[in-house]
Amino acid sequence: MKSIADDLPPDIASQIHPSWRKNEADYWAVRDGLLSQYADQWIGFADGQVIEHGTSPVEVLHNAQASGRHPFVICVGRENEPCRIRRVTFPYDSGYRGEPLPVINVEFRAAANVVGVVLDRDIPDTGADGSVLPWKDCQALSLQPNQGVPGLMSGVAGGSSATISFRVWAHLDGTNYPCRLQADFQGKERIIGRDVLNRLVVMFDGPAGEVVVNP
């Protein structure tokens, strides 16, 4: 079976850790036997076994990646469903073409206890399953392809493209929030998805032109 990683840009695919590729192949060898127990659940699979499972992809990604075993992370029985990223407009940034757009500044951290990189013009998007940064921003965070988990990502127009998910943290209002960061090898937008937003109280104050986090 063709690997998800093979749909990445060739120079990126060549850097995917061989242990992840082995875990992917091992998963497919036993996948049918996992359906009865783990159907519709997210799992982390490594060294021939499920090492993490649950309904939250960001929690499964963080916990499985913490093992250092380069797990294959997937939703059992829904392997071909991409992480959906909907790019929609909201009121706020008056310089945006069309309706103004709400944007926030977020510090992304590759390690929870290490100061990261503050990136501006991040779009809070409740239609996005996960958060997204262009590959150039991922490189600024010193994220390497062999540290991530290859997968699929889809936009509002449908279709899918290959991505890599990274276990990082979004630092907002003095607190670290687990983030399932998708690398975008084609687009330029920075998107904060429900992996982070569902852990926050966010107020969109259109008349004042403000996004207030944890009011």
The domain that holds 181 is classified in CATH as 2.40.70.10
For the chain, what is the mean pLDDT? 90
144 and 90 in a common domain:
yes
- Given 12, 45, 80, the domain boundary residue is 80
- Given 65, 80, 95, the domain boundary residue is 80
Statement: residue 90 has pLDDT above 50: no
- N-terminal to C-terminal alpha carbon distance within the chain: 49
91 and 47 in a common domain:
no
Domain region containing 184: 84-213
- Given 80, 109, 131, the domain boundary residue is 80
Full-model pTM: 0.80
105 and 67 in a common domain:
no
Least confident of 14-18, 121-125, 137-141, 152-156: 152-156
By C-alpha distance, which of 162, 183, 169, 194 is closest to 57?
Answer: 194
